[in-house]
DNA sequence: TAAATTCCTGCAAATAAACGCAGAAAACCG
DNA sequence: CGGTTTTCTGCGTTTATTTGCAGGAATTTA
């Protein structure tokens, strides 16, 4: 069998089944595994396949596109995210809500971090999936098309079964009187469950949302362990929260 | 034998078999390998053949086996999707696997369709989310980064709790002897559960995958209710499946 | 952490290609 | 027809490619 022929066969198989194993190919074509590996290497060089440990994957199926729309206050959110990643270390179990701040957090994760991220937010999950070393656990249930997050009793029950190290909440509104408030009943139920199931609750928000109120209460200030904004920790706006016993970053 | 004669013979052989070996040609025509090599060189210069180490290939060979890019066999998958959407009607509960054929199905859903789609495949879920009228239920569990689908006991348990109207399986390989087969253990477990939990099992596959086998068995032909390919229902390739009692579209 | 795969590197054998050359064949021309 | 030129072919040598194999490193899995 000619080399090109062999490579054509391999490529064909990859395109057909989205995945091939070196081991099965070498028995099919009856050549050594080294030859297969070299073929896969060459095909990968040409961008025809994606080489992985043990075989190869098709290129077309493997890339999930995701929209990069203009995020509001992106630079502030980036700086919040960078403060937040410092709280995550190897081996941790991390629960996150949805929201653009969380997305920024996901994008800011250092590539060598090995942790487990749990979420019901589709955009967040997409980001986590691109990370090489983190495990991703998806909370299932009905999807809310508005918030792009899974909502419902199943999701809440699943969250309540857990006890994770840390939980990051993208926050819509926070003030000293009511604590965290939001405007979507289902999302609030989820966040409540998340807070209950976490050893540490970290609230991420841009300064703009501080001291604003939304209709539905998520939790009081006493349930929040940390508050992260783009402001320096000693900014006067944050003083009431420090006084309430929240660690501010 | 004249040079022109010889080259005509070579060209004929290449077009006939899509490939020739220098070694076999030189015994056939009874000339030295150098001569053959020179002939192939000239034919390659004229663009009549593609010269490779050890022989030559016809140009059609490359066209057939090296599709440019984009989703493999997209047009076939579109036509499969269009046949499949005919099976879905308002109010139905639909369970789907992942795979590019399923994505095409998701994109082909008529906008006014009101149904509930259930899946653990992230790319499929993303498509369903864009649809204005369908409810989307996400099966949660650990995400497999390779297959972009949730896998594990939670996911399987969740599926087993259901009894949906119809289930669409993107299929990797199917043949009359083993039935549906696949190459990812976790995905196979999921598909098995899906089949169990559905009143009707529809298998979607491009004709090319028919009569191919993968290492792990998903289910026998007797568990499949319908088979959809891009071929017309009376194509002889499909006859064995019709005979096995499967409705072919 | 230990065992099992898989991967990489260098190497050697087999095969194929390239090159120059000389003799044979064909084509050309007076 | 005879001589010259050009083209073609096969051979020996050298070079390049391909392939399998052994080992040790790296990665995955239990």
Residue B101 in this model has a pLDDT that exceeds 50: yes
Torsion sign across C-alpha atoms B124, B130, B135, B137 = positive
Choice between B178 and A112, residue whose per-residue pLDDT is larger: B178
Tokens describing residue B41: 């060189």
pLDDT computed for residue B94 by the predictor: 95
The predicted structure's pLDDT at residue B153: 87
Delimiting residues of CATH 3.40.50.10470 domain(s) in chain B: 74-248
The gap between B218 CA and D23 C1' (Å) is 40
Every domain range in chain B assigned CATH 1.10.10.10: 3-65
In the 5-24 segment of chain B, residues within 7 Å (Cβ) of strand C are 21-23
CA distance linking residue A49 with residue B210, whole number of Å: 23
CATH of the domain spanning A3-62:
1.10.10.10
* Residue B63: pLDDT over 80: no
Give percent of chain B above pLDDT 90. Answer: 37
**Measured between CA atoms, how close is A149 to chain B, in angstroms?**
10
| Tokens read off for A143 | 């999807």
The mean pLDDT of A136-143, rounded to a whole number, is 92
State pLDDT tens for residues B105-149. 998 899 899 999 999 998 899 889 888 899 999 999 988 877 888
The confidence score (pLDDT) of residue A239 equals 86
Facing A140 at nearest CB: one of B62, B138, B209: B138
CATH 3.40.50.10470 fits B74-248, yes or no: yes
Residue B65 (CA) to nucleotide C28 (C1'), in angstroms, measures 48
Distance of alpha carbon B77 from alpha carbon B75, whole angstroms: 5
For A6, nearest residue in chain B (alpha carbons): B65
Domain B3-65 -> CATH class: mainly alpha
Looking at the predicted structure, is the pLDDT value of residue A142 above 90? Answer: yes
pLDDT in tens, B71-98: 667 778 888 998 999 999 999 999 999 8
**For A10-45, what is each residue's pLDDT tens digit?**
988 888 788 899 999 989 889 999 999 999 999 888
CB-CB neighbours of B69 under 10 Å:
10
CB A182 within 8 A of CB A191: yes
Q: What stretch(es) of chain A map to CATH 1.10.10.10?
A: 3-62
pTM of the model: 0.80
Q: Cβ–Cβ of B67/A15 closer than 8 Å?
A: yes
Tokens standing for B220? Answer: 């026998």
């Amino acid at each position: 069998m000619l080399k090109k022929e062999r490579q054509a066969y391999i490529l064909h198989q990859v395109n057909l089944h989205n995945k091939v194993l070196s081991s099965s190919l070498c028995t099919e074509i009856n050549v050594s595994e080294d030859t297969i590996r070299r073929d896969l290497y060459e095909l990968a060089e040409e961008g025809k396949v994606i080489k992985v440990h043990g075989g190869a994957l098709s290129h077309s199926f493997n890339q999930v596109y995701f929209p990069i729309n203009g995020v509001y206050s992106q630079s502030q959110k980036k700086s919040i995210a960078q403060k937040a990643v410092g709280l995550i270390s190897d081996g941790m179990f991390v629960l996150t809500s949805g929201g653009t701040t969380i997305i920024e957090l996901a994008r800011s994760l250092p590539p060598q971090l090995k942790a487990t991220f749990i979420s019901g937010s589709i955009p967040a999950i997409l980001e986590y999936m691109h990370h090489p070393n983190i495990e991703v656990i998806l909370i299932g249930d009905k999807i809310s098309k508005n918030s792009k997050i899974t909502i419902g009793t199943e999701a809440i029950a699943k969250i309540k079964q857990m006890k994770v190290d840390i939980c990051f909440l993208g926050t819509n509104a926070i003030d000293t009187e009511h604590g965290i408030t939001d405007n979507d009943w289902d999302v609030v139920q989820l966040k409540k469950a998340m807070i209950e199931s976490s050893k540490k609750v970290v609230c991420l928000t841009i300064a703009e949302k501080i001291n604003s109120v939304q209709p539905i209460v998520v939790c009081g200030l006493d349930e929040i362990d940390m508050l992260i904004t783009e402001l320096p920790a000693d900014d006067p706006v944050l003083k009431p929260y420090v006084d309430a016993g929240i660690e501010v970053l």
